[in-house]
Amino acid sequence: MKPYDFVVIGSGIAGLTFALKAAKHGSVAVITKRKGADSNTAWAQGGIACVTSDEDSFELHVADTLEAGAGLCDEAAVRTIVMEGPTRVSELVEIGLHFDDREIGGHREPDLGREGGHSKRRVLHVQDVTGLEIEKTLLRELERARQVELLEHHMAVDLITAGKLGFATEDRCLGVYILNERTGEVETIRTDRLVLATGGCGKVYLYTTNPDIATGDGVAMAWRAGAVIANMEFIQFHPTCLFHPLAKSFLISEAIRGEGGILRNDRGEDFMEQYHPQRSLAPRDIVARAIDAEMKRSGSKCVFLDITHRSPEFLKERFPHIYETCLRFGVDMAKQPIPVVPAAHYQCGGVKTDVNGATSLPGLYAIGEVASTGLHGANRLASNSLLEGLVMAHRACDASLREQPTSHAARAIALPEWESGDVQIVDELVVIYHNWDEIRRLMWDYVGIVRTEKRLQRASARLRNLQREIREFYWNFKVSVDLLELRNLATVAALIVDSALSRKESRGLHFTLDYPALSDERFRRDTLISRT
């Protein structure tokens, strides 16, 4: 396969934004394992947190982000991302995205949403389908762009690095092996600038708000290539996912609580009163833990989100997607409270990067949810992630253009083709599906909202066994998407558990009954892991 100046893996807001900018400077391949629009971005309901109103300020947005991050944000990264947000958002508007607005004092102003942890209304949105509209806008632009190839149904297998090939040059990323799902062949792509924009890892948990693609591919590949991974213990659980046996992964946006929605327990009580002064709009970690506690206390299978005091007209106009979807499952949110449960939602850690998206491995960049820039710290402020993906894509593109090209020695290295040997096709798919289910269930039961050392140890032991079995599969059978996703899921699960075990305190999203307090001296630092 031909070389590209830039290779981007992933087609959400970060990957597509990078590709559009990079295509002005060279050839770009966007690799995506399903269709172009299959990304976490397309599922984002809330919107983009961005300072646009006179009543708001960068200082307030920075302060809210730092407060949510529980002492682990990188303040310089927070400032950069918050302050570059408005410019990047206006570029989205220039290419055709129209955020909701409303008439105020004779002129139109953005209709800003509110979510937990924000001291001001600052969330730009398109009804409750912001991510989908962004995705469509960017894909439309990509179709028009020259020098970009969108390779759908191609899945990255592993990064190719000088170190792994045994060359005595500086270690750096040289390319990537890609499984072409249509032919079943693994192709070799060479590039000097490889960008991971693969999103998160929600599918590592039994219950998640994420789409099926969220299997932690970027973190797993970067870890295998020797890059530094940070803060994987901080998995954000969204408090409100629709509770219905047939409604797989359907998010009920926090924006509903921003518009006055109240969480109630099975007795109809506004139970958040007992947990936090901001009640239903308290920071997400607190709300998710409170729901978990209420459900455990009462033995009920869910709690309820009540927005019946708002008019049906308002609900249909502001939340058409949620309204229609709930109705399809027999819940009229204008008349009855919505049954909800918490579910895994966002990976706050990831591949460690600087504020330009550069990882510890030269030639490798990470942007969007796969990356750990320092914006989120121990807990992400709602709707900061689309903002991060947008800003970091631009910064990473600029940085990659400034980067020195690979040395002559590295360029002289011929990349070996993928060797399949005479490996067989996996005959018993049931083993893959069984292992997949086992990982997701054990992560939910042992590494969920509330953790203990004993449960984490138990998860660790099980995962080691599963990883051994999966390694055997990987070497003895022809690779397939299912097998690759399982391998990545197991790797990421183990990284989450190892990171959680090393943090002997409760901070942000990591809450353990064995160390319920915050320990400032020892643990006010990132959890860093690398294979090397």
Binding site for ligand SIN (CB under 6 A): 45-46, 253-255, 382-383, 385
Residue 128: CB minimum distance to ligand SIN, A: 7
Residue 294: CB minimum distance to ligand SIN, A: 19
**CB nearer to ligand SIN: pick between 77 and 399:** 77
Q: In this structure, what token pair is assigned to residue 314? A: 């308002």
Residue 230: CB minimum distance to ligand SIN, A: 20
Residue type at 417 in one-letter notation: E
Q: E strands along 168-243, which residues? A: 173-180, 186-196, 229-230, 235-242
Q: In this structure, what token pair is assigned to residue 88? A: 């990047």
Phi, psi angles (nearest 5°) of residue 88: -70, -40
Catalytic residues: 284
**CB nearer to ligand SIN: pick between 254 and 526:** 254
Residue type at 63 in one-letter notation: A
Residue 313: CB minimum distance to ligand SIN, A: 21
**CB nearer to ligand SIN: pick between 148 and 344:** 344
Q: How many CB atoms lie within 10 A of CB 449?
A: 19
**CB nearer to ligand SIN: pick between 385 and 400:** 385
Q: Which residues pair with 161 in a beta bridge?
A: 173
Non-local (6+) Cβ contacts of 346 within 8 A are 200, 202, 235, 236, 238, 369, 380, 385
Q: Which residues pair with 512 in a beta bridge?
A: 451
Residue 252: CB minimum distance to ligand SIN, A: 8
**CB nearer to ligand SIN: pick between 46 and 110:** 46
Q: E strands along 67-171, which residues? A: 101-104, 107-110, 123-124, 148-151, 154-161
Q: How many CB atoms lie within 10 A of CB 461?
A: 11
Residue 461: CB minimum distance to ligand SIN, A: 32
**CB nearer to ligand SIN: pick between 193 and 257:** 257
SS (H, E, C) 375-428: CCCCCCCCCHHHHHHHHHHHHHHHHHHHCCCCCHHHHCCCCCCCCCCCCECCCC
Alpha-carbon distances, residue 106 vs 102, 103, 109, 124 (angstroms):
10, 6, 10, 20
Contact between residue 405 and residue 63 where contact means Cβ atoms under 8 Å apart: no
Residue type at 240 in one-letter notation: T
Residue 45: CB minimum distance to ligand SIN, A: 4
For residues 305 and 293, give the distance between their C-alpha atoms in angstroms, rounded to a whole number: 16
Continuous segment of H or E residues that includes residue 471:
helix 453-476
Largest CA distance in the chain: 72
**CB nearer to ligand SIN: pick between 21 and 257:** 257
